[in-house]
Structure 1
Amino acid sequence: MPPTGVGRLRAADIPARFARRHGFALVETTRHSQLALPLPDGAAAWRAEAERAAGGGYRLVQWRHHTPEEWLHAIAVLQGRMSTDAPTGGLDLREEAWDAQRVRETDEQITRTGDGYVLTAAEHVPTGELAAFSQIMVPAHRAAVAFQYNTLVRADHRGRRLGQLVKAASLELLVAAAPHVRRVHTWNAGENAYMLAINERLGFARASTERVWQARVG
């Protein structure tokens, strides 16, 4: 059992025996879920429901492939917080360093390969800061598939359905921008009950369970 308490694994499992024999410990389980597209007829209600819960203090901003200059720093802050604010179980992770230049370079690397993405962020209108974001990647080499990448709501803005809001709006943008996509894959920490509940509300179904092992060296 990982320290999260989610995802018991039989000790006799062959990969588990191999990992433990080589000094690895089970530290987390990850749920892989899949959403079939096109979106159901009632999908617009997901966004409307979240907008009512968020209230009038937030405004959605969206873009594709390239981050507007005015949002480079704000997205860098949110990307950096993914390494500290998202559930990581027993993983020993260090905070990632993000700045505007790294966001630019990442966008350039994505587009050079022919891939793309859609992104929705929620601006906190009184402060002008981004409170949440959700990004979906669209690979060039797999036309029917998209991958839900980072989704984050800042800790000081949680409890307002912003996660559901930015994810629902990103799915709408994906369908409009890439109508050839037929399924979206996403991965979430097994203990991330809040995000898993959002995914289930949006129609994602469990596809598999992955396990994360870690060995300490030195």
Structure 2
Amino acid sequence: MPNQPVEVAPLDPKDDAQWAGYHRVTVDAQLHERPYGDVPTADAFRVSFVRASQSSRTLGWTARLDGAVVGAAMAVFPMADNTHLAFTEVNVTPSARRQGVGRALLAGLDDGLRAAGRHTDLAEVPRPYAADVAGRPVAAGVGFARASGYELAQTEVHFVLQSPLDLDLLDSLQAEVDAQIGDYRIVSWQDRCPDEWVEQACALEEAFIAQAPMGDMDLEPERWSEHRLREKEEVRLSRGQHGLTSVAVAPDGSLAGNTELVLSDATMRGGVFQSGTLVLPSHRGHRLGLALKLANHRQLQAVEPAPRLVHTYSAEENTPMIAVNTRLGFRPVELSDEWQRRTASG
């Protein structure tokens, strides 16, 4: 029997039936054979598509076979900077793979990229972790990315940690920090950045792209303002998420680094996610990375004492951060490749 034609349509996130199919496919695809994968709940995920934002815009597409939604694609368009690219995702329910669904979705997504004037897209593809590089298995998404013209731009390691951490471990690591931190101090908050730190918090957001390993990804510097920071906080709360932040304050009163965890009940598996950690180069050598993460994990355990799985991603080449994560007890469970594609117009 010949393959049925694939019908691709733009996603209307306010259409409950189409949205239910879109989210179901995303969950099926993202959690298939991934014991440590996680996906936002339907209501939390929908916020990204329906809430107006000055910093980004999100569009989606669905693919149907014989009337059933079997594919879901997404493109996130940065609006404040990096307006040459989009962050994309193509999901196909496992039982419908190898029937042209992914290719059809990619064609629809490409129409959206052209309409938005974007010539580059970045797609994240997870694959199993293996200590032997030569023996790492090839995930279905990797083959699809290569066949579709993407090139590997970076590989990150996905680590997990079961919270709460052992208090003896926290105290032991804290003693190491106290011996080297000198006159630096750690300040923590939840959800909303205090007004006194907003300007410097924005500067740290801008520094992250410049300082963190980005491989061959075609990312330009980001521009952060108080409005963008407050919008990020508001969107997070509207999705049922809480941001836990710790910053390092230098002896002169400036911010030397930061870290952030995102706590939420609005994911399918209840994961807590590390958003980012940065110590500015001029302030390194004082155990600030470890100090920041210790403070934030203490903050997490204070607001959420129940067991939660904490996720963090580190570029393979970011050995200092991987060393900090390992000291805390994080263990590698998966690899996450960033694949990049440039169209002819780019």
Tell me if both proteins adopt one fold, taking TM over 0.5 as the criterion.
yes
Is this contact kept in 2: 1:145–1:181, CA < 8 A?
no
Deviation at 1:158, TM superposition (A): 1.4
By relative contact order (CA 8 Å, sep 6+), the higher-ranking structure is 1
- Mapping of 1:143-158 within 5 angstroms? 144-158=270-284
Residues 163-208 of structure 1, C-alpha deviations (whole Å, 9 max, x = no match): 1110111001100011134211111111100100000011001111
Q: CA deviation at 1:81?
A: 1.1
Amino acid at match of 1:204: F
CA contact (8 A) 1:144 1:180 kept: no
Q: 1:100 to 1:164 in 2, by over 3 A?
A: same
Deviation at 1:32, TM superposition (A): 0.3
The question of 1:83 aligning with 2:205 is answered no
Please state how far the C-alpha of 1:10 moved relative to its aligned partner: 7.6
**d(CA) in 1 for partners of 2:143, 2:305:** 44
- In 1: Cα distance, 2:272 partner to 2:212 partner: 21
1:68–1:190: structure 2 CA closer, same or farther, 3 Å change rule?
Answer: same
Is residue 11–residue 17 contact of structure 1 (8 Å, CA) maintained in 2? no
Tell me the equivalent position of 2:191. Answer: 65
| One of 81, 89, 92 as aligned partner of 2:218 | 92
Give the structure 2 partner of residue 49 of structure 1: 176
| Alpha-carbon offset, residue 84 of structure 1 | 1.3
Q: What's the CA shift for 1:33?
A: 0.3
Identity of aligned residues (%): 34
Q: Is the 8 A contact 2:264 2:270 kept in 1?
A: no
Aligned 8 A contact 1:32 1:208 in 2: yes
Establish whether residue 164 from structure 1 lines up as the match of residue 290 from structure 2. Answer: yes
How much does 1:102 deviate? 1.3
1:207 alignment partner in structure 2: 333
RMSD: 2.1
Question: What displacement does 1:25 show?
Answer: 1.2
Q: CA, structure 1 residues 10+107, in 2 after alignment: closer, same or farther (shift >3 Å)?
A: same
Q: Could you tell me how far apart the structure 1 residues matched to 2:141 and 2:155 are?
A: 14
2: distance between equivalents of 1:60 and 1:163?
Answer: 11
**Deviation of the 1:22 alpha carbon:** 2.4
Unaligned runs of 5+ in 2: 1-131
Query: TM-score, normalising length from structure 2?
Result: 0.57
* Structure-2 separation of matches of 1:71 and 1:181: 31
Q: Distance in 1 between matches of 2:314 and 2:204?
A: 17
Distance 1:111 1:15, change over 3 A: closer
Segments of 5+ residues of structure 1 without an aligned counterpart are 1-6
- TM superposition shift of 1:144: 4.2
Q: Which residue of 2 aligns with 1:191?
A: 317
State yes or no: 1:216 paired with 2:304: no
Aligned to 1:131: 256
Q: Name the larger-Rg structure.
A: 2
Structure 1 Cα separation of the partners of residues 342 and 270 of structure 2: 39
Secondary structure at 2:342 match in 1: coil
Q: Say if 1:68 and 1:11 are closer, same or farther in 2 by CA, change over 3 A.
A: closer
TM-score, normalized by length of structure 1? 0.89
Contact kept, 8 Å, 1:144 with 1:181, in 2: the verdict is no
